[in-house]
C-alpha cells in the first residue's frame, strides 16, 4: 500500500523539494503551509505523479493546526511519515538588542509549532505501532554562532525534542530522526533579514547546499529497511567547515 507523508512548510525550500522527491516515489502527500497560491501550484505540479491534499494553517495557531489536520479525509488521515520542516529564523542580532517579536516568532514556529503538529499526528502512529517522524533541525542546533542566540536555541530544542520523541515512542516502534543542514539556498535568508539586501550575500562566493540535496537525504532516511533508523544527520556543503567557517571565493 502507498505510504502517506505530511510535510509542513511545503510551499518553499526544503519542504517543497521533499514534496517533489516523495512524489517521484509515489508517496501520497499532505502538503502544508500558509501561502495558498503556492500550495495550489505545488499540488498542480505533483498531482500527475501522486495523490496530493493541501492544508493551509499557521503552525503557531494551536487550534488551527489541530482543526486542519483533524479535518483530513479518510484517504489521507493515516500519516506514515511526518516531516516537521516549517520554520525559519527572524533577525540576526546580538542578544542585548534582539527583538522580542523575533524571539516569539522563532520559539512559536520552530518549537511550539513542531510540537502542535506532532501532538495531532502521534496518536494515529502509536495506535498503529508504526510511523516515522523526521524533524528538520539545523547545524545551529549543534553549534552556536554570533547573533544566532534564539534561533540556535530553537534548533537545540528541536534536537532535544527529537531525542525525547525517540525515547518515548520507542515502545511503539516509531522511528524518529533529525536531519540537520548547514547553509541551504532557500527563502530562509529573505525571511531572516526581512527582505533586506543582507540576504543577497549569504549564498554568494561558494556553492551552498540546495534544497534537493536535503530532500534526497530525507528520502534515504525514510526508505531504509524496517530495522534501520537514521537517527541524526549533519549536512554541510563542501565549502562549509562549521557555522562560522565558510570558504568563499573573492
Q: Which residue, 94, 89, 120, is CA-closest to 187?
A: 89
**Residue 59 binds which of ligand 8X3, ligand NDP, none (CB < 5-8 A, kind-dependent):** ligand NDP
CB of 185 within 8 A of CB of 178?
no
Task: Give the one entry of ligand NDP, ligand 8X3, none that residue 186 binds, where binding means its C-beta sits below a cut-off of 5 to 8 angstroms depending on kind.
Answer: ligand NDP
> Does 69 help bind ligand NDP (rule: CB under 6 A)?
no
CB closer to ligand 8X3 out of 4 and 162: 162
243's contact among ligand NDP, ligand 8X3, none, with CB below 5 to 8 A by partner kind, is: ligand 8X3
* Among 12, 54, 139, 149, contact with ligand 8X3 (rule: CB under 6 A): 139
Pairing of strands 52-56, 28-33: parallel
User: Collapsing DSSP states into helix, strand and coil, what is residue 132?
Assistant: strand
User: Considering the rule CB under 6 A, would residue 140 count as an interface residue with ligand 8X3?
Assistant: yes
C-alpha cell, 206: 561558494
Query: Which residues ranging from 110 to 169 are in contact with ligand NDP (CB under 6 A)?
Result: 136, 138
Region 170-199 residues binding ligand NDP, contact defined as CB under 6 A: 181, 183-184, 186-188, 191
> Least distance in Å: CB of 5 to ligand 8X3?
22
> What are residue 134's DSSP bridge partners?
83, 177
217 near ligand 8X3, judged by CB under 6 A: no
What are the distances in angstroms from CA 101 to CA 72, 94, 107, 169, 181?
Answer: 32, 14, 10, 33, 25
Q: Alpha-carbon distance 80 to 88, whole Å? A: 25
Residue 159 vs 183, nearer CB to ligand 8X3: 183
149 binds ligand 8X3 (CB under 6 A): no
Catalytic residues: 151
Which of ligand 8X3, ligand NDP, none lies near 131, with the C-beta cut-off 5 to 8 A by kind?
A: none
Q: Which of 245, 193, 238, 242 is nearest to 213 (CA)?
A: 238
Closest C-alpha to 13, from 211, 180, 193, 215: 211
Binding site residues, ligand 8X3, CB under 6 A:
138-140, 148, 182-183, 243
Amino acid at each position: 500500500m502507498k505510504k502517506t507523508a505530511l510535510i509542513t512548510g511545503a510551499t518553499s525550500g526544503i519542504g517543497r523539494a521533499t514534496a517533489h522527491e516523495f512524489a517521484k516515489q509515489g508517496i501520497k502527500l499532505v502538503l502544508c503551509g500558509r501561502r495558498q497560491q503556492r500550495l495550489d501550484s505545488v499540488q498542480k505540479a505533483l498531482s500527475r505523479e501522486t495523490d496530493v491534499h493541501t492544508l493551509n494553517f499557521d503552525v503557531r495557531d494551536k487550534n488551527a493546526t489541530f482543526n486542519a489536520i483533524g479535518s483530513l479525509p479518510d484517504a489521507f488521515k493515516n500519516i506514515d511519515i511526518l516531516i516537521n520542516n516549517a520554520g525559519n529564523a527572524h533577525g540576526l542580532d546580538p542578544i542585548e538588542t534582539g527583538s522580542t517579536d523575533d524571539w516569539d516568532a522563532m520559539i512559536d514556529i520552530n518549537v511550539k509549532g513542531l510540537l502542535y503538529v506532532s501532538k495531532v499526528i502521534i496518536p494515529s502512529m502509536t495506535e498503529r505501532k508504526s510511523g516515522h517522524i523526521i524533524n528538520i533541525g539545523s547545524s545551529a542546533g549543534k553549534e552556536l554562532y554570533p547573533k544566532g542566540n534564539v534561533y540556535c536555541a530553537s534548533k537545540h530544542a528541536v534536537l532535544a525534542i527529537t531525542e525525547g520523541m525517540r525515547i518515548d515512542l520507542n515502545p511503539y516502534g516509531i522511528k524518529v530522526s533529525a536531519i540537520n543542514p548547514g547553509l541551504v539556498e532557500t527563502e530562509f535568508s529573505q525571511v531572516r533579514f526581512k527582505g533586506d539586501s543582507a540576504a543577497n550575500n549569504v549564498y554568494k562566493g561558494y556553492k551552498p547546499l540546495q534544497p534537493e540535496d536535503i530532500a534526497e537525504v530525507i528520502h534515504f532516511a525514510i526508505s531504509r529497511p524496517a530495522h534501520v533508523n537514521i537517527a541524526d544527520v549533519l549536512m554541510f556543503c563542501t565549502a562549509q567547515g562549521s557555522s562560522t567557517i565558510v570558504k568563499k571565493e573573492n
